[in-house]
A and B are shown apart, each in its own frame.
Chain A
Amino acid sequence: MDDNVYQVETDDLSGRFLLFYIGETTYSLPLTHVIEIINIQHITKIPNVPYYVKGIVNLRGKVVPVSDVRLKFNQPERPYDDKTCIVVVLISDMNVGLIVDSVAEVVSIERTNMAPPPTAGHRGGESYLDSVSQLNGKVILNIDCDKFFQSDLAELFPDSD
């Protein structure tokens, strides 16, 4: 597909992370969850869902829901541009698209280079961080996919935990 910016290889993915930007902040997603990255495309809105769930897109005949990470992180909305990407991730056997400002690169982060996020000082909101890393002088916030989707999946699989 032409609009694929990047197609992920399926070799050893553990310890490797996809970096993406929301504003000036760098976040990372474990590559084991990432299926592919596509350009932003027409999103069909679904009524009466949380504000950060933007709707559904057609991914080669498959209907995939998309969430806006910016909104999920309680940051102001901004218009999509040609750098805006949808990162399709696999969570609980479902494909879900994540709208991010732009994607950067794939990096390897050692487990030793991951500091746990603070447990105190939350402002009552949810935290989706797995850990914080520093790489080449850059701070990277590593996202925990399970935590990220916890509220979306909570009622889907009530028996699971």
Chain B
Amino acid sequence: MTTIDPGMEALLETFVYESNTMLEQLDEIMLESERAQNISHENIDSIFRIMHTVKGSAAMMGFNGISGLAHSVEDIFFIIRETPEKLGIVFNALFDLVFQTSDFLKREIEKIQNGDFEESDPGALVALLHQQAAIMKGEEAPAESPIPATAGAAAAAEKTVEGAEDFHKVRVYFEDDCQMENMRAFMLLNQISHCCDAIESVPANPEADSSLCADIIRDGFLILFKPTETFDDVIKIIESSLNVKSYEVIRDEAAPPAKESAGPAAAGPGEAKTGTAPSGGSGGQTPSPGGKSGSIQSLISVNQVKLDQLMDLVGELVTAESIVASNPDLKGLKLDNFHKSTREMRKLTDELQDVVMSIRMVPLTATFQKMNRIVRDMCKKLDKKVELVTYGGETEVDKTINDSIADPFMHMIRNAIDHAIESPEERRALGKPEIGTVTLNARNAGGEILIDVADDGRGLDPEVLLNKARNNGLLIKPESEYTEKEIYQLIMMPGFSTNTEVTEYSGRGVGMDVVRKNVEKVGGSISIHSARNEGTTFTIKIPLTLAIVDGMNISVGSTVFTLPITSIKQSFKISDAKQVLYNTDGAEMILLRGDCYPIIRLHDLFGIDTEKQDMMEGIMIQVESANTIAVLFADELLGEYQVVVKPFPTFFNKYSLKEQGLSGCSILGDGSISLILDVGNLMSAQ
């Protein structure tokens, strides 16, 4: 289908959201179970329920591919639920399959979300799932179940078959366009194999040659079998099999008449003999979202656009409030009651802001958990042993930030596993534990959140990085002038890739560059620490929230800066010029309670004209960020305000204002604009 019923559009959003949530839950359960090498009863139920809901809602929306695939998984877990002891037979294959299914479904849902309703064909996965189901049902390896290969031309097979007296003949037709008819035929053979003593088919070994599809479509798939029990048992299986459009029983002997007993087949809704689509049945079935445990708090999902609007509005409200409270018209008036009221109002807007902010906050747990999946897949693919350890998953960040750091994490973890962590043999030789560790550690630090992505791999080699940068023409100054820190930063330059070979996961040379961009987009920064053979740590520093900052406005010349309150330690005036010391290079310093700090003249740093050049006239502000302390020199303090942070227009992207210590701007109560200072970058820009 290429379009969607307009009436469904409203439901579509819910469907996408719900399905994504469910699939994430599925991944989580599967990972947990894989680690435990067992699926608890409870989890089997959950998986069953998830698949059931996905199936139901997909069918309702008319996404037959999704619903069919979900149905197949549901089938398998139905069997496991009934006979848990059979799980062992297919354990490993099953996990891979369910993960593949989950990926497939996520891809499909993403496509739907992007307005592309062209469904992919899950046929291959469905076939594989059926195979597993058959194995569990029959406890028979599929490869052995069909008759020994006669490698037969159809004619030859027909001949042998004709001689067989007590064979039943059934000709099966598959649905139009169901594709991979040969695989479906093979699946069907497997399914009925365990209740038949002997089976023949025309064509024989349908799975071996996909060109047989055409024959099967044209002539149907002829099955000849000797039932172990009754003929009806076999027919029931054929009836309940997916994608079977119709079948005819060819009677050349007195076979017991096929009774109309479309009893509930092993799984789910009874597909009619000539059912149109497997989902046709399940569409009428009510999905059971009520199956979610009753202990869940009542939650509603809200469109994020609305939340953003709310946030913007609150921002405007805060600005408007300060315009009213500090209105120039009120200057010089004695307004005790008015001030009391504005204080009350300030309290309320503060509270409102806190609540809106908390609505937008989500814990990092979900993002962290998604990484488990990547680690698992990469380890399998690359044959490495890596364990993901996470700390501080409960740390909450703004939803926007959370969304935009998931990709960077993924890149960094992929890089770590692909490039940094050695193969088990190499690690053993180095005396490291065979299993590598990737650590995600999130923690709050003032108004910021620090997240480490650390590995215990081989570490970065400055020599190699420099060589590489030189070859790629990325060096901008003489090599000898590069500090170790700057060399590490090179890997985040566009067009830099440390691995010479391009692998499936990383190494296209866009990775770290994109990571940096994504992190910077939300006002964050990345620093790198590395030690040879001990590992590399990327520390991502991101603001707790993007929107509103408590700031101290300071003026320098005609420019107003906003300094986040969290980074201010104290402000003071100096009365004696002798308090200012000079370093040997002439840099100004000041001695405060026995410690010496550099003085940063804001007017010098930003090239602003001001009359207050003398330290005695202006104001000194001691600021701190990440344990570095400096003293800023500005003209005067204008007062404390709450400001709504606005990013600089994209026009300025190329001037790297962030690196200079300007994190954004803000519109003040009088309509003028202040520049928001980022103390950390300001000090390193010095």
Contact = CB atoms under 8 A, between A and B. Distances in A.
26 contacts: A42-B672, A44-B665, A44-B673, A44-B674, A45-B608, A46-B648, A46-B652, A46-B655, A46-B675, A47-B605, A47-B608, A47-B662, A48-B657, A56-B649, A56-B673, A57-B673, A58-B671, A61-B316, A63-B646, A63-B673, A65-B652, A94-B649, A152-B651, A155-B653, A155-B654, A156-B650
A33 to B, nearest CB: 15
Contacts of B657: 46, 48
A8 B547 CA distance: 33
B665 A156 contact: no
B586 interface: no
Interface in B464-512: 494
B395 interface: no
Contacts of A155: 653-654
Contact of B651 (A48, A57, A61, A96): A96
Interface string A7-51: 000000000000000000000000000000000001011111100
B594 interface: no
Interface string B606-628: 11100000000000000000000
Question: For this complex, into which size category does the number of interface residues on chain B fall?
Answer: 20 to 34
Interface string B654-686: 110100101001010001111100000000000
A81 B674 CA distance: 24
A64 interface: yes
A94 B651 contact: yes
Interface string B550-564: 000000001110000
Interface in B311-332: 316
A48 B604 CA distance: 11
Nearest to B668: A58
A148 to B, nearest CB: 13
Given A42-B672, A44-B675, A45-B559, A65 B660 contact: no
B104 to A, nearest CB: 30
A155 B649 CA distance: 14
A7 B22 CA distance: 51
Contacts of B606: 47-48
B652 A44 contact: no
Nearest to A57: B673
A94 B672 CA distance: 20
Nearest to B606: A47
Contacts of A58: 667, 671-673
Contacts of A95: 649
B496 to A, nearest CB: 15
A61 B559 CA distance: 18
Contacts of A152: 651, 654
B675 A156 contact: no
- Nearest first, the 7 closest Cβ-Cβ pairs linking A and B are A47-B606, A44-B673, A155-B654, A65-B651, A65-B649, A49-B655, A58-B667
Nearest to B665: A63
Given A44-B675, A45-B608, A63 B655 contact: no
B650 A94 contact: yes
B649 A63 contact: yes
Given A48-B606, A56-B665, A96-B649, 16 more contacts: A44-B559, A44-B672, A45-B558, A46-B648, A46-B662, A48-B660, A49-B652, A49-B655, A58-B672, A58-B673, A61-B316, A61-B667, A65-B649, A94-B651, A96-B651, A152-B654
Contacts of A65: 649, 651-652
A42 B672 CA distance: 7
B560 to A, nearest CB: 8
Contacts of B675: 44, 46
Interface residues of A, number: 21
B662 to A, nearest CB: 8
Contacts of B671: 58
A65 B655 CA distance: 13
B667 A63 contact: yes
Nearest to A44: B673
Contact of A48 (B494, B560, B607): B607
Nearest to A43: B673
| Most chain B CB within a 10 A radius of its CB, from A45, A47, A156 | A47
Given A46-B675, A58-B673, A64 B649 contact: yes
Contacts of B660: 47-48
A156 B559 contact: no
A141 B401 CA distance: 47
A47 B673 contact: no
Contacts of A46: 648, 652, 655, 657, 662, 675
A71 to B, nearest CB: 16
B561 to A, nearest CB: 10
A155 B653 CA distance: 9
A161 to B, nearest CB: 15
Contacts of B665: 44, 56, 63
Contacts of B652: 46, 49, 65
Nearest to A96: B651
A55 B116 CA distance: 42
Contacts of A158: 494
B657 to A, nearest CB: 7
A34 B657 CA distance: 27
B673 A156 contact: no
Contacts of A64: 649
B655 A48 contact: yes
A64 B652 CA distance: 10
Contacts of A48: 606-607, 655, 657, 660
B608 to A, nearest CB: 7
Contacts of A47: 605-608, 660, 662
Interface in A83-139: 94-96
A156 B667 contact: no
A156 B608 contact: no
A95 B67 CA distance: 46
B564 to A, nearest CB: 18
Contacts of A56: 648-649, 665, 673
Contacts of B605: 47
A48 B667 CA distance: 21
Interface string B574-615: 000000000000000000000000000000011110000000
B563 to A, nearest CB: 16
A67 to B, nearest CB: 9
A58 B665 CA distance: 10
Contacts of A45: 558-559, 608
A114 to B, nearest CB: 29
A158 B517 CA distance: 14
Nearest to A64: B649
Nearest to A67: B651
B147 to A, nearest CB: 58
Contacts of A94: 649-651
A156 B651 contact: yes
Interface in B494-552: 494
Given A63-B665, A63-B667, A156 B654 contact: yes
Contacts of B649: 56, 63-65, 94-96
A64 B650 CA distance: 10
A65 to B, nearest CB: 4
B522 to A, nearest CB: 18
A41 to B, nearest CB: 9
A152 to B, nearest CB: 7
B72 to A, nearest CB: 41
A96 to B, nearest CB: 6
A60 to B, nearest CB: 9
A65 B646 CA distance: 13
Nearest to B659: A48
